[in-house]
Amino acid sequence: MPLRSADATLAETRPLPVIGLKDVREAAERITGAVARTPTILSDAVSRVAGTSVYLKLDNLQATGAFKERGAANRLALLSPRERAAGVIAMSAGNHAQAVARHASLLGIKATIVMPRFTPSTKVVRTEGWGANVVLHGETLAQAAAHAHELALRDGLTFIHPYDDPGVMAGQGTMALEMVEDQPAIETMVLPVGGGGMLAGCATALAELRPGMKVYGVEVEGYSAMAQRLAGKPVSVGGPTIAEGMAVRDVGERPFNLLRQLGIEVLVVPERAVEQAIALLAEGAKVVAEGAGAAGLAAILTYPDLFAGKAVGTTVCGGNIDARALSNVLLRQLLRDGRLLRLHFDIPDRPGMLADISKRIADAGGNVIEVKHQQLFGAPTVQSTVLELMIEVRDQAQGTAMIAALEAADYIVRRV
């Protein structure tokens, strides 16, 4: 079951929102021309699988591949002349780094980005490619953030927070404006949560623009910090995740207070649902999404009763996924769908056995794409051999029929 927001009476004790629809509208005007107005499309393929109308905001089409440009562009545009002259600093291991670097470069502002030492070299190179000075420091994001604050104080730099900043939140909220302007049919929204800036900015705008519209946040199981805090529970997060852009322990205080006041509900999805959503977007919608970018769709697939019969808007907020990770996700989903089979055979060591099995698979419509044939050391006796096959089939029914045909020929078949 989803974790829900705290009681409304608690929200009444919190401060008023730090931003409103006016701030988001002003941010939209401010970033026009610097940030792409990305399309919001109704995806037929995704809608058929989800069982309801699903609209996708394609912010993976931004120049840096993610929505973070919106908040960075707006926040940098708000700098005073003195702050521009001194320069800015940010901490990030991913999309925020590139966003600040790009928009600082466009404005002629010197930018320093502190990244943890574990940051993949491709992200370091991309950030440097936008003209930023990259400093690698610390083994964790927290250590990198602490060092960034030290450098900001030492050198008089303005720290650009990735989510706990009113200017950043207002910039991220421009996504919601574009979505409802371009697709007025949208009735409800579900948006990913990392530190909470994007959800807070969008929810604030929609509370005034579309009163009564239901807005959900979504987090992955290993990193459900916002859901835990809204539910009044101690925060416990950790572990590997494909949605590394959402792997946040310390959510923003401003977003947290605002979401609590608005009564926003945060849904929590399993890792497997995020992988399923990445695969569906790639194969069905022909859209490349990183884990965080697919989280909204993962929630729609995980909680179908919440969205049945409604036009749902969500954002593919980033497409910066490693090619190997994307490949692994797609292959894992093919295995789960039954369109890839890994079959194990213990067969007599006689000439023609492999050819006979291959023919029977071909006759059943299967396509062998990988063969492991161990005659010397893997077999239980010298009179037998071990065979493992990776087979591509049309669907689960065809795979079941193919295995039945092999078993009818007295082969002992085991799925691996």
pLDDT of residue 209: 96
State pLDDT tens for residues 328-350. Answer: 999 999 999 999 999 999 888 78
pLDDT-wise least confident of 140-144, 238-242, 329-333: 140-144
pLDDT of residue 33: 95
Query: Is the pLDDT reported for residue 57 higher than 70?
Result: yes
C-beta separation of 100 from 64 below 8 A: no
> Which residue in the block uniquely carries the two structure tokens 């699988």?
49
Question: What pTM, to 2 d.p., does this model score?
Answer: 0.89
- Tally the residues of the chain: 416
pLDDT of residue 383: 60
Token pair belonging to 262 = 């608005």
pLDDT of residue 85: 97
Query: Is the pLDDT reported for residue 374 higher than 80?
Result: no
Query: Is the pLDDT reported for residue 288 higher than 70?
Result: yes
Cα–Cα separations (whole angstroms), residue 341 to 46, 167, 181, 324, 337: 25, 50, 45, 21, 10
State pLDDT tens for residues 88-124. Answer: 999 987 899 999 999 999 999 999 999 988 887 878 8
State pLDDT tens for residues 211-220. Answer: 999 999 999 9
Q: With cut-offs at 50, 70 and 90, classify the pLDDT of residue 376.
A: low
Percent residues over pLDDT 90 in the chain: 81
Token pair belonging to 16 = 């008023």
pLDDT of residue 205: 97
Q: With cut-offs at 50, 70 and 90, classify the pLDDT of residue 380.
A: low
Q: Are strands 54-57 and 40-42 parallel, antiparallel or unpaired?
A: antiparallel
pLDDT of residue 2: 46
How far is Cα 107 from Cα 151, in angstroms, rounded to an integer? 21
Which residue type does 103 have? Answer: H
pLDDT of residue 312: 98
Which residue type does 224 have? Answer: S
How far is Cα 15 from Cα 257, in angstroms, rounded to an integer? 7
195: helix, strand or coil: coil
Compare 324 and 94 and report the one with higher pLDDT. 324
Which ranges in 195-343 belong to alpha helices (H)?
197-209, 225-230, 253-262, 271-280, 291-302, 304-307, 323-337
Mean pLDDT of the chain: 91
Q: Is 359 exposed, middle or buried (0-12, 13-18, 19+ CB in 10 A)?
A: exposed
Give CA 393 to chain center in angstroms.
29
**To 5 degrees, how large is the angle CA 284–CA 286–CA 287?**
110
Which ranges in 87-120 belong to alpha helices (H)?
95-107
Token pair belonging to 91 = 């901490």
C-beta separation of 388 from 343 below 8 A: yes
Give CA 186 to chain center in angstroms.
21
Beta-carbon contacts of 327 under 8 Å, excluding residues fewer than 6 positions away, are: none
User: Where is 407: in which H helix or E strand?
Assistant: helix 396-408
Query: Is the pLDDT reported for residue 12 higher than 60?
Result: no
* CA neighbor of 411 nearest in space, from 380, 381, 390, 385: 385
How far is Cα 377 from Cα 248, in angstroms, rounded to an integer? 47
pLDDT of residue 190: 98
C-beta separation of 176 from 78 below 8 A: no
